[in-house]
Each structure stands twice: as structure tokens, then as C-alpha cells.
Amino acid sequence: MGELLPPYGGTLVSLYDEGWEEPPVTMPVGENLIQIIGALASGALSPLRGFMDREASRSVVEEMRLPGGLPFPYPIWLPVPPLFARRLKEGDRVGLQDTHGNAVALLEVHDVFTFDPRWKPCLGPEDVFPPRYPHVFLGGTLKVVRRLWAGDEPYSVRELFFRRGMTSLAGKALRDPLFRDTEYLLRLVLEEEDGVLLLLYDDDAFGLPARLRAEGIRRVLQSYLPPRRVEVVVRPWWPVGGHVRKALLGAVVLRNYGCRRILYHPDDVGEDGVPGGRGGRNYRLLESWLSHFAHHLEVTPFLSFQVYFCDGCGQLTTSRTCPHGPLEKVMMNRERLGRLLQAGVTPPPQYVRPELARYLLGWTRGGRGKGG
């Protein structure tokens, strides 16, 4: 029997270390950073072992490579208040705590650096960063003292698929509760791959909380796809959200979960509703970067065209296989689907399975959604 694709860089990083030595200084970190620490600790961002220092940041921002040469698309930064940073130097240890004062991790400081304005043009308008404030970052390696991602770690998800005898996986970062265009993509790849991993972003996309979207996904799986071949992991921090470099980072994360086939949809880089094609600027940029990146990452990207329902074909399709004209196409973008759901209106069955629509609308009509 074969094995799942090994993690990026060869080894699945684990930064867990139960030993907490009282650090001389501590700093509170917010939920978003705790999730990034969870990603680092569990190896989802292998081969990284902490937050990037100045040299790694320069190299990643300007050349999309780590200093050792391995391609890496996105800087992983620990922003700190400038006044606090002034007290720190190389070799110091900083305790990172959650907002209740509980210990999360120890950072051994490599350097303290400020955002270099020369990096800005490299990042491009599609990448929203750096954070406006503060512009000061701590680079260093982490020892993480609390299990943050129990059950969802790359190690346990790899084990799960492996125990099911699956060795070839596809992966997709997503925000939707498995609308039919995403289901269409899963069908395509499940013809070839043993399983699919979905990374669901925990925000309020489509006006629906993530736990609701995750449950919606499970309902579609129960009725329309082999549920054992698809797993969903929900996290508040995933590299999704309309930025090309983030979409590339998604490939690194999925690779660390063992996925060799990475699925993209035009929406993943903020180009919802590009009719019939994948001609948007961001999507072309993603495609060109992936052509450099994918080889080193040893993954095969699958960039879908916009999926739509065609009356002529009588099914969901893309401009790649459908010969019909615009009058037969029922185009519907996700933004519109979200608006319908939030307004309590049943979306067309060509786009949302009735079981899923009933479940989601039960929530919004029950007055628990925005605007009730």
C-alpha cells in the first residue's frame, strides 16, 4: 500500500513542548494569532517553526522563497506594540498568553524588525497587508505549551484517511456550505482521488456561522456523496479570503495535510461571478504563480472554470465542455446566493441542494440569522 504525500519540507513539524519555564516577559495575543500559533504548532505550516524574522520576511515577500530556497508564498508575522518591542533583543524569551492570561507558547526572539516600505509593491493590491498598526514584528521560534488544534491536526487527519486505506487526497479551502458548484468539483476529483479534505473558514460568510455551514456540508455528503471520502475541518484561520498569495498558502497547508491535488475556484481569489471563464486578473496571476510553485510543492493544482447550470446541457457545467449560448445558462454568483439565504428566500435547486436550503433557511427564518 502506498502512503500519503509527505509534508512540505519532508517532516511534519510539531512545536508542542509541555515544559513551561516562566519567561521574564509576557504578552497577550488575540484569537487570530492563537490560531496561527495552532497552525504552526501542529505542522500545518511546515516547515516553519515559528514567526518569520526580517530575513525570512524579505525573502518570502520579495522572492516567494524561504531563506533555504524552498518556495513559500506568504509571510507569517507576529505583530507587537512598538513600545513593548523596544525592550526586547535577540535571545530573549517572551511568553505568549491568551486574553485570559493562560500560557499558550514561548517565543525565543531572533529579531525585532519593522515593515520595510520596499516590500509594499511586491505584495500587490490583492494582498491585504501589512496590518496598518503596528508595523513592528517579532521573529523567532516557538515552543507551544497547549494543544490548540486537537483532532484537526494534520497528523490526526492524515491518520484518519490512512486508516480508511486512502493514499491520494485532494484538498480545497472553502467558505461555502457545499453549494452545487463546489459539489461538482468534488465529484470531478473523486473520480480520480481517494478522498477530499475541505478546510472551512470560520467567519460569517453568506451570513451563516461556520458550524452551520459545516453541518450543511455533512447533510449534502449524507445524501449526495460518499461521506467517508470527504472530511471537513473548521478553523477560524485559514488562508482563504480573496488574496492570491493566501490562496497559494492554502496549497502549502493542504499539502501538509497530505493533499496532492489542490482545488481552486475563481471565487477563491475574489472573482465571484466571472461569467463562463476564469479570465479574472487574480485568477490568471494565481495560475501563473502556481505554475512555478506547484512543481516544488509536488502538488497538482486544479483550477476550475466558473461552474454554472446550463438548460441546454441539463446539468452543471463549465464553458470548457458546454457548447451553448448565454440564453441557456443560468448564472448565479455566490454573493447572490448569500443574499437570498439571508433574506429567507429558497435559492434555485440548480445551485443549492433542497436539503441544504431547508436546513440553512430553517436557521435564517428562525430569526437567528442577520436581520432574522
Q: Which residues bind Zn ion (CB under 5 A)?
A: 310, 312-313, 322, 324
Q: How far is the CB of 322 from Zn ion (least distance, A)?
A: 3
How long, in residues, is the chain?
A: 372
Grid coordinates representing 371?
436581520
Shorter beta-carbon distance to Zn ion: residue 182 or 318: 318
For residues 167 and 194, the answer to whether their CB atoms sit within 8 Å is yes
For residues 174 and 213, the answer to whether their CB atoms sit within 8 Å is no
Q: Positive or negative CA dihedral for 183, 186, 190, 192?
A: positive
Shorter beta-carbon distance to Zn ion: residue 257 or 305: 305
Q: Exposed, middle or buried by CB within 10 Å (0-12, 13-18, 19+), for 121? A: exposed
Shorter beta-carbon distance to Zn ion: residue 187 or 218: 187
Cell 516557538 belongs to residue: 142
Shorter beta-carbon distance to Zn ion: residue 103 or 313: 313
Shorter beta-carbon distance to Zn ion: residue 281 or 324: 324
Shorter beta-carbon distance to Zn ion: residue 296 or 324: 324
Q: How far is the CB of 314 from Zn ion (least distance, A)?
A: 8
Strand order in the sheet with 329-330: 315-317, 308-310, 329-330
Amino acid at residue number 262: I
For residues 43 and 12, the answer to whether their CB atoms sit within 8 Å is yes
CA distances in angstroms from 259 to 121, 249, 295, 317, 347, listed in the order given:
32, 13, 14, 25, 32
Give me the torsion for CA of 353, 207, 169, 258, rounded to 10°: -170
Strand pairing category for 259-264 and 169-174? parallel
Q: Positive or negative CA dihedral for 213, 218, 222, 227?
A: positive
Shorter beta-carbon distance to Zn ion: residue 108 or 328: 328
Shorter beta-carbon distance to Zn ion: residue 323 or 366: 323
Close Cβ partners of 290 (under 8 Å, ≥ 6 residues apart):
248, 251, 301, 303
CA distance 233 to 214: 8
Please state the three-class secondary structure of 255-283 as a single string: HHCCEEEEEECHHHHCCCCCCCCCCCHHH
